A = this chain, B = another copy of it.
Amino acid sequence: MPITDPTPHNTEASRAAARRQQILAAAAQCFREHGFHGASIARISKIAGMSAGHIYHYFENKEAIIGAIVAQDLETLLTLTAELRAACNVRNALIERAAEGVLDQLDPASAALKVEIVAEAARNPHVARIVREADATCRRELMVTIHAIRSAAGHDDTPAATADMVEVLASLFEGLLLRTIRNPDLDRRRVAQRIQLAINDLLDQPG
């Protein structure tokens, strides 16, 4: 069969994708400022620079926009842990990346959205499913990474023990999202160093 014209499709497709992204960017801003339920389609459309009705040409409904925002946010988390797993000297990589990761977590604007997502996951099954699948993937990646580090140091941990250490590591990180909202004045760099120490200790815990 003949190849159908690629150019118009591409421009149409990219145009539509750009429009979609435009909506998502506006939605992310609104969700950060007003929460998922406080943000109205009217407000999102105003910031996205289009009519409210037109948004429904790109998303089935508001829930779909929320889903896309959640998936987009978790995507970055997935690539981060995947990168970590690929690093060669894994222990140093983990601890050095930790400092960057901590500073990211301590950015109040992005923290607000991340916390909003978990709050929504606690009551919205659709969001919960997305969040939990991404989290399971991250945990699997981190388990491999941590098991490798500890094996190299002579520990032979059970899967359960590794899973628990992953939970503590995750708790340490994710807690920062709440800390930066509860105490916006904390010293980000110094806290990052302390977290590095804590991770170091965690990796040397008895099995």
Contact = CB atoms under 8 A, between A and B. Distances in A.
Contacts of A121: 181-182
A60 interface: no
Number of copies of this chain that the complex holds? 2
Interface string A30-72: 0011111110000000000000000000000000000000000
Given A115-B118, A175-B171, A191 B164 contact: yes
A103 B61 CA distance: 38
A177 B183 CA distance: 17
A153 interface: no
A195 B179 contact: no
A179 B4 CA distance: 49
Interface in A161-196: 163-165, 167-168, 170-179, 181-184, 186-187, 190-191, 193-195
B111 A115 contact: no
